């Protein structure tokens, strides 16, 4: 059976053994190389890697100065990994409805959910399909609320010809977990619209330390280097950075393979409703379609050798998030959405 997900690894990781025995395993040369390659790829110089996707979210929330009980508007139709960090940070989850044709946040619903306590809009781009970027960002600007583009599954997706992470959104968060492109086994990244927030996050990611001044000429910790902000241990290791960096040259070809696979499905299934929209280019991590006979079609595709799935359960179904809220767009989308294999490994 052709799998829906599969980790990518280059054929050769020639420097891996050298790094393992180098004595320099913490963030350093390869961490900087990986960040530079990511910046070049998406077209934004303000980007930091982290040791996990959840760390990237926590770092962004801290940089924004959010506090316990602040409200965040988010979509329940997303990966659980997206919404759990918001909850564990102490934010109050406010579910907005989605467009049942796209799986992404409905701008009208987002606007309706805004209160005086709303401090963040968390905009998930479902399974690599780009949501209503301009509309959501415009709402954020209108009400003075920062917006995070949640690209847990959307690295390499484009909107109006630009990559996610370079669209003028306040923050964009990526996952580099095992089944993402690129993957670092585990890891994440944040891109920033604002250099001041980037600079703050740069220090906060590493315990608030300015490494250029932390040690004196004798290699001792300098008493002249003050630590003035709280921080975390969230830097990406050299091993993870090297694995990610080693994949970057392959990313354009892998994304092209995924695009061609998606085009193949569109040709083979000309009458089905898809999630593709004007001015958007998904990363085609999966091929998403909408079916009135979801379970029947899912089993049919599996019988033909293509692993099909609904991928995610609406997060508002989980009791950890409190009382279940009925959202008609979410229910309609969830009842119809199916994903088919479209990844780089799928040879038609």
Give the tens place of pLDDT for each residue, 216-257: 999 998 998 999 999 999 999 999 999 999 999 999 999 999
- Residue range 68-93: mean pLDDT, rounded: 98
| Residue 4 within a domain | no
Residue 233 lies in a domain: yes
What is the per-residue pLDDT for 214? 86
Task: Supply the range of the domain harboring residue 159.
Answer: 16-249
Q: What is the pLDDT of residue 51?
A: 98
Structure tokens at 131: 């949501």
Domain end point (choices 197, 224, 249): 249
Quick check: is 8 in a domain? no
In a domain, 264, yes or no: yes
For 254-276, how does the pLDDT look when each residue is reduced to its tens digit (9 = 90+)?
999 999 999 999 999 999 999 98
Same domain, 28 and 75: yes
Q: What are phi and psi of 292, to 5 degrees?
A: -80, -10
210 and 275 together in one domain: no
Q: Rounded to an integer, what distance in angstroms lies between the CA atom of residue 124 and that of residue 96?
A: 11
Task: Write down the pLDDT at residue 307.
Answer: 98
User: Is 32 within the bounds of a domain?
Assistant: yes
Give the per-residue pLDDT at 213. Answer: 86
Residues 117 and 245 placed together within one structural domain of the fold: yes
Q: Is residue 347 part of a domain?
A: no
Residue 63 lies inside a defined structural domain of this protein: yes
β 147-151/118-124 pair status = parallel
Give yes or no: residues 236 and 331 share one domain: no
**Would you say 68 and 214 are in contact if contact means Cβ atoms under 8 Å apart?**
no
CB atoms within 10 A of CB 197: 18
Instruction: Pull the structure tokens for residue 238.
Output: 């050299």
pLDDT of residue 180: 97
Same domain? For 212 and 302 the reply is no
What is the pLDDT, as a whole number, of residue 289? 97
61 and 159 inside one domain: yes
Let me know whether 122 and 160 are in one domain: yes
What string of DSSP letters covers 115-138?
-TTEEEEEEE-GGG----HHHHHH
Nearest to 106, CA basis, from 74, 79, 67: 74
Three-state DSSP class for 64?
Answer: coil
> Is the domain of 195 the same as that of 53?
yes
How far apart (Å, rounded) are the C-alpha atoms in residues 261 and 72? 36
> Which residue matches tokens 């907005």?
96
Q: Do 274 and 162 lie in a common domain?
A: no
Instruction: Calculate the CA 326 to chain-centre distance.
Output: 26
Number of residues that make up the chain = 348
How much is the pLDDT for 296?
98
Q: Summarize pLDDT for 283-326 with one digit per residue, the tens.
A: 999 999 999 999 999 999 999 999 999 999 999 999 999 999 99
Phi-psi region of 284 (alpha: psi -120 to 50; beta: other; left: phi over 0): left
Query: Of 201, 222, 249, which residue is a domain's last?
Result: 249
Answer yes or no: are the C-beta atoms of 165 and 193 closer than 8 Å.
no
**Which ranges constitute the DSSP H helices of 21-106?**
29-42, 53-63, 80-88
**Are both 96 and 199 inside the same structural domain?**
yes
pLDDT of 348 higher than 80: no
What is the per-residue pLDDT for 276? 86
- Residues 32-63 pLDDT 10s: 999 999 999 999 999 999 999 999 999 999 99
DSSP, residue by residue, 213-273: TSB-TTSSBPTTS---S---B-PPPHHHHHHHHTTGGGHHHHHHHHHHHHHHHHHH-TTSE
pLDDT score recorded for residue 273? 93
The CATH number linked to 266 is: 3.90.1150.10
Percent of the chain with pLDDT over 90: 94
pLDDT tens figures, 142-191 = 999 999 999 999 999 999 999 999 999 999 999 999 999 999 999 999 99
The CATH code of the domain that includes 234 is 3.40.640.10
Give the model confidence (pLDDT) of 85-111 as tens digits: 999 999 999 999 999 999 999 999 999
Q: Is the same domain home to 137 and 87?
A: yes
Domains contained in the chain, number: 2
**Same structural domain, 222 and 286:** no
**264 contacts: CB under 8 Å, gap ≥ 6:** 348
- The Cα 263–Cα 284 span in angstroms is 10
Query: Of 249, 278, 303, which marks where a domain is finished?
Result: 249
C-alpha closest to that of 88 among 58, 126, 43, 47? 58
Q: Is residue 9 part of a domain?
A: no
């Amino acid at each position: 059976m052709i799998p829906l997900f599969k980790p990518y690894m280059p054929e050769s990781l020639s420097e891996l053994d050298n790094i393992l025995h180098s004595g320099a395993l913490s963030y350093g040369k390869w961490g900087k190389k990986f960040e530079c390659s990511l910046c070049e790829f998406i077209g934004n110089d303000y980007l930091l890697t982290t040791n996990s996707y959840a760390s990237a979210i926590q770092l962004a929330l801290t940089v924004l100065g959010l506090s316990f009980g602040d409200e965040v508007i988010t979509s329940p139709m997303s990966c659980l990994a997206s919404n759990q960090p918001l909850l564990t940070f102490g934010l109050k989850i406010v579910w907005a409805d989605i467009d049942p044709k796209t799986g992404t946040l409905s701008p009208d619903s987002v606007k309706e959910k805004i209160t005086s306590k709303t401090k963040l809009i968390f905009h998930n781009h479902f399974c690599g399909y780009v949501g209503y970027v301009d509309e959501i960002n415009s709402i954020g600007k209108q009400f003075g609320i920062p917006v995070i583009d949640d690209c847990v599954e959307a690295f390499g997706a484009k909107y109006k010809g630009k990559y996610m992470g370079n669209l003028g959104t306040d923050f964009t968060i990526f996952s580099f977990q095992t089944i993402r492109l690129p993957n670092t086994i585990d890891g994440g990244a944040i891109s920033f619209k604002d250099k001041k927030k980037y600079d703050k996050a740069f220090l906060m990611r590493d315990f608030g330390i300015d490494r250029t001044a932390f040690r004196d000429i004798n290699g001792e910790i300098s008493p002249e280097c003050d630590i003035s902000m709280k921080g975390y241990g969230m830097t990406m290791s050299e091993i993870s950075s090297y694995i990610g960096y080693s994949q970057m040259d392959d990313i354009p070809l892998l994304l092209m393979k995924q695009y061609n696979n998606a085009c193949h499905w569109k040709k083979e299934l000309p009458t089905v409703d898809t999630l593709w929209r004007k001015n958007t280019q998904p990363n085609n991590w999966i091929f998403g379609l909408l079916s009135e006979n979801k379970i029947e079609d899912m089993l049919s595709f599996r019988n033909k050798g293509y692993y099909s799935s609904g991928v995610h359960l609406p997060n508002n179904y989980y009791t950890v998030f409190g009382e279940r809220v009925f959202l008609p767009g979410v229910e309609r989308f969830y009842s119809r959405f199916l994903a088919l294999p479209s990844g780089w490994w799928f040879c038609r």
